[in-house]
Every structure is written in C-alpha cells, then in structure tokens.
C-alpha cells in the first residue's frame, strides 16, 4: 500500500505527464501547419513518450494497491510565435516537470517509502535526458535563426528520430 500523500502526488504527476503529451501533440500540429515534418514527427514521438511516462505511473499506483485518479487535463496552447518560441516552451516545460518529480522524490523520503523512491529513480534519470534533448533542440533552432535553409536541414535531421531515442 502507498500512503494517501504519495498516492495523491503520483496521480498529480500522472496528470502532468498527460498534459506534457498534450503540449507536444499541440506542437506537432503547429509544426505540421508550418510544413516542418521533421519537427512535427519529433514532437509526435515526444508526445508518445510522455504518455508512456503517464502509463508507468498508472501501473505503479495499481501495483501498490492505490487508487488511480484521472484529473482533468489542461488545454495546451494551440500556437506559438515561432519554432524557437515552441522549442523554448518545451524546455521550460521539461524544467517544470523535473521540479515536480524532484518534489515527489522528496516526499518519498519524507514518507520513508523506499519502493516509491526506487521507482522514481527512473524518472529522475529520464528528466536529465529530457532536459538535455530539449536544450539541444532549442539551441539548434536558435542558431539557425532566420536562415530557412538551416531550419530545413534541422527538419530533415529531426525526421530521423525513432521512438525510444531522443
């Protein structure tokens, strides 16, 4: 059994992962609208990964005999000022997610819940990767600036992303 506090915090994290999927899905649509298929593809895969993170939490709550509570998912923005604005938003959002995972980890220490602490280790490590790939993406888009040719080269590179690889 998990404590009510842990249960509530994990359900909250599940919601944030689902919201993350929504944000990336919205970004996929935004980039599709700009005819940047590589960016769109990258964002779609990212959305799938986020759903996978939500499912990990879902399974864990059930495994620990807890109650899954599916909270309402906020609507993500529908558009951004530019590809750079979208990519910087992605990075900012990953940092928010890291903060909430770290808070959840702190709670697992406070509640002396070793199983949850070990379970959360995967998420802590994953956020290192997530922030790193979001940083690289935002930085490349910033470097490309208004150079359309550079954006198209980057778009081709992003098209190669496969599920499970960032």
7 binds Fe ion (CB under 5 A): no
113 binds Fe ion (CB under 5 A): no
Q: Which is nearer to Fe ion, 113 or 130 (CB)?
A: 130
Q: Which is nearer to Fe ion, 40 or 127 (CB)?
A: 127
For residues 131 and 21, the answer to whether their CB atoms sit within 8 Å is no
Length of the chain, in residues: 166
Site for Fe ion in 134-163 (CB under 5 A): none
For residues 26 and 41, the answer to whether their CB atoms sit within 8 Å is no
Q: Site map for Fe ion, 36-65, x if CB under 5 A?
A: --------------x--x------------
Q: Which two tokens stand for residue 84?
A: 């750079």
Q: Which is nearer to Fe ion, 44 or 53 (CB)?
A: 53
Q: Which of 91, 97, 116, 94 is nearest to 105 (CA)?
A: 116
Q: How far apart are CA 68 and CA 138, in angstroms?
A: 35
In whole angstroms, the minimum distance from the beta carbon of 97 to Fe ion comes to 6
Q: Which residues lie near Fe ion (CB under 5 A)?
A: 17, 50, 53, 130
């Amino acid at each position: 059994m998990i404590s009510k506090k842990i249960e509530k915090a994990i359900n909250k994290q599940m919601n944030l992962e689902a919201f993350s999927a929504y944000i990336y899905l919205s970004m996929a649509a935004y980039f599709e609208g700009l005819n940047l298929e590589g960016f769109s593809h990258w964002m779609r895969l990212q959305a799938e990964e986020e759903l996978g993170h939500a499912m990990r939490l879902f399974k864990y709550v059930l495994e620990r005999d807890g109650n899954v509570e599916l909270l309402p998912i906020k609507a993500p923005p529908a558009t951004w000022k530019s590809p750079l604005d979208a990519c910087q938003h992605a990075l900012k959002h990953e940092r928010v997610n890291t903060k909430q995972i770290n808070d959840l980890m702190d709670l697992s220490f406070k509640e002396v819940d070793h199983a949850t602490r070990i379970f959360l280790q995967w998420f802590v490590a994953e956020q290192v990767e997530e922030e790193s790939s979001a940083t690289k993406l935002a930085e490349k888009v910033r470097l490309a600036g208004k150079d359309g040719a550079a954006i198209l080269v980057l778009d081709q590179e992003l098209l190669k992303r496969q599920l499970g690889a960032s």
